[in-house]
Amino acid sequence: MTEMTDRRSSWGMADILVGVVVLAVLSLLIAWATHAPHHSPETGKISLAFWRLPMYALYSWLRMAAAYVISLLFTFVYAYSAAYNKRAEKILIPLLDILQSIPVLSFLPVVLLAFIALFPGSRVGVNLASVILIFTGQVWNMVFALYHGLITIPRDLRESALSLNLSPWQRFRTLELPYSMVGLVWNSMMSWAGGWFFLMAAEMFSLGNKNYQLQGIGSYLQTAANQGDWLAEVAGLVVLVLVIVLMDQLIWRPLLAWADKFKMELVEGDARTRSAVLMILRRSRLIEWLGASLGSPVLEWTDRWFGHTLPRLRQAGPLATVIGLLRTLMVAAIIIVLVTALEGTLKLVQHIAWSELILVFEATGATLLRVLAALAISVVWTVPVGVFIGSNRKWAQTLTPISQIAASVPATALFPGMVALLIHLRGGLSSAAILLMVLGTQWYVLFNVIAGASAIPEDLREATKMFRLKGTRVWTTLILPAIYPYLITGLITAAGGAWNASIVAEYVSFQNHVYTTFGIGSLIAEASAGGRFPLLLLSTSSLALAVVVINRLLWRRLYNRATERYSLS
């Protein structure tokens, strides 16, 4: 016993590794903050020198990390409000359908002009605009994942939490968040993949007669493609893959191994996700000391604040008055923004001709057919492969990193070369656009299916063996019902991603040539690049309307069926 205590209290190699990593990160950030070269996004050109790639990769990673933090905070507030406030749910979920369907380039004019106005003459505004654009490509599937987790918590667990008299914060920390953790981690990985997908569009864009170029791996790849420098393109992709591999080993694999403990099962599986990094962190005395010195006091303080202090302060007159005033100001601000937007919309609509209305309607229909084809192709291969990866832990150790790397490599970086090959096929870019959309959307379905298959309790798997169920009987009685809610979540986000991907699948530019095919995505891209705001507004509105109608008539009904019939409650 004494020997075990001495071993736990000693400082070893794990603490040295953790300390070295922390000091290296701090030194890198300090060096970047103090020696970062000046770069004007409006006039600065992207250098294709190989030695600049590590710094470009760091810039892009920092933008992605900032966007993910914003996405995570937004996810907690939005999903929790939609799951536990029925009146808010009727507004927030349809609004989420609209927001996830709006392409990144449709957000560009408003976001870019707003931040440039806030930070005139500074690169801060353009960088913040880039972060928000990446945020719009990351956040929606995370919201759906957490919302799905919250509304499918078994009834007996909810009743147990109520019987223990836990505060709302304690229920969220000890029940709701842990129950949703597996799906949230998998969709976080997908969010990063989505951020990489639109990184080129978020770091190098045009608005009217102005071109903006931010230093980053996305703009490097786009510049290399535009100049036809395939050696630089390959070098950029190699560096990006290295970043993705490091992300997998240092962040995602430890998170997946850590999230395994939150799975609901009575029988433990033979092989769990393992991570050398997580093992080092668990053995580190430094991490243990930080958890005891900082983590535990913070958790105790939050339990007291959210559980006892805040409710009492809300009942008090002054704070209630302040909260009411803030709520009133927020509602007033929203009304002002909506009225201003409506007024601007009416002015823009006056410049739209009937011929443009018919053109947008036909373009929406053309893109809808491509979206449906892309979803069908994605489902055919992702369901069996996802179930295999999620159900076989040993194979998952090898296949999961490969799928993460493949999903995170931005397909937009491969588009120029692929278009050069596919443009000569029958149907030209119209057919090639379907394959390009598949590259950007299939991972939403795959990762959700993997999450659903890996979340199947081990005791249910053992039950199928006891009853000697095999082949199709296992699929129809266990696997398909278990993954059905996750599959629908994946299809909803994949559909939104497919509509979003249409702007880069139907409008491809490289070597000073632009290749387009008829569709709503190409109309949006052309309108955004040309500063034709009436057509941009009309095209975006048509796309959002199509997505909302399809979600209301199809996806939402399937989603409600999934939560009512196939949740573990």
Considering the domain architecture, whether residues 306 and 205 belong to the same structural domain is answered as no
Over 60: is that where the pLDDT of 33 sits? no
Judged against a pLDDT cut of 50, whether residue 455 lies above it is answered with yes
Domain identity same for 339 and 373 = no
Question: Which pLDDT score, from 0 to 100, does residue 41 have?
Answer: 58
Query: pLDDT tens across 245-258, in order?
Result: 888 888 888 887 77
User: Does some domain include residue 513?
Assistant: yes
Task: Check residue 247 and give its pLDDT.
Answer: 84
pLDDT beyond 90 at 376: yes
Please indicate, yes or no, whether residues 395 and 519 belong to a single structural domain of this protein.
Answer: yes
In-domain check, residue 322:
yes
Question: Residue 311 above 70 pLDDT?
Answer: no
Cβ-based burial of 563 (10 A; exposed 0-12, middle 13-18, buried ≥19): middle
- Model pLDDT, residue 8: 45
pLDDT score recorded for residue 68: 92
Does residue 25 sit in the same domain as residue 67?
A: no
Same domain (yes/no): 222, 75: yes
The mean pLDDT value for 236-264 works out to 81
pLDDT in tens, 171-210: 887 888 888 888 788 788 878 877 877 777 778 766 666 7
C-alpha–C-alpha distance, residues 253 and 31, integer Å:
29
29 — pLDDT class (breaks 50, 70, 90): low
Q: Is residue 363 part of a domain?
A: yes
Inside any domain, residue 2: no
For residues 107 and 131, state if they share a domain: yes
Structure tokens at 104: 């990144």
What are 138-155's pLDDT values in tens digits?
888 788 888 888 887 888
136 versus 13: the higher-pLDDT residue is 136
Percent of the chain with pLDDT over 70: 68
Number of domains in the chain: 3
Mean pLDDT: which of 30-39, 100-109, 543-552 is highest?
543-552
Q: What is the pLDDT of residue 7?
A: 43
Are 123 and 260 contained in the same domain?
A: yes
Say yes or no to pLDDT of 513 above 50: yes
Give domain status of residue 369, yes or no: yes
Torsion angle in degrees (nearest 10) through CA of 523, 526, 532, 538: 20
Question: Highest mean pLDDT range out of 56-70, 296-310, 334-348, 490-504?
Answer: 56-70
Q: Say if residue 49 is in the same domain as residue 114.
A: yes
pLDDT for 441 equals 81
pLDDT at 372: 92
The CATH number linked to 232 is: 1.10.3720.10
Tokens 């209290």 belong to 9
> What average pLDDT does the structure give for the chain?
75
pLDDT band at 2 (very low <50, low <70, confident <90, very high): very low
CB of 444 within 8 A of CB of 141? yes
DSSP states of 527-556 as a string?
A: HHHHT-HHHHHHHHHHHHHHHHHHIIIIIH
Burial class (CB in 10 A: 0-12, 13-18, 19+), 376: exposed
Buried b (16+ CB within 10 A) or exposed e, 480-490: bebbbbbbbbb
3 in a structural domain: no
Q: Is residue 234 part of a domain?
A: yes
What is the span of the domain harbouring residue 80? 38-283+352-565
Q: Hey, what amino acid is at 9?
A: S
- Once rounded to an integer, what is the mean pLDDT over residues 42-65? 82
Tell me: do 325 and 466 sit in the same domain.
no
One domain, residues 304 and 163: no
Residue 264 lies in a domain: yes
Domain match, 388 and 469 both: yes
Contact status, residue 427 vs residue 369, Cβ threshold 8 Å: no
| Signed CA dihedral, 524, 526, 528, 533: sign only | negative
Q: Looking at the structure, tell me whether residues 437 and 414 fall in a common domain.
A: yes
**Per-residue pLDDT reduced to its tens digit, 75-116:** 988 888 888 888 778 777 777 777 776 766 666 666 777 777
CA dihedral for 154, 156, 162, 167, sign (positive or negative): negative
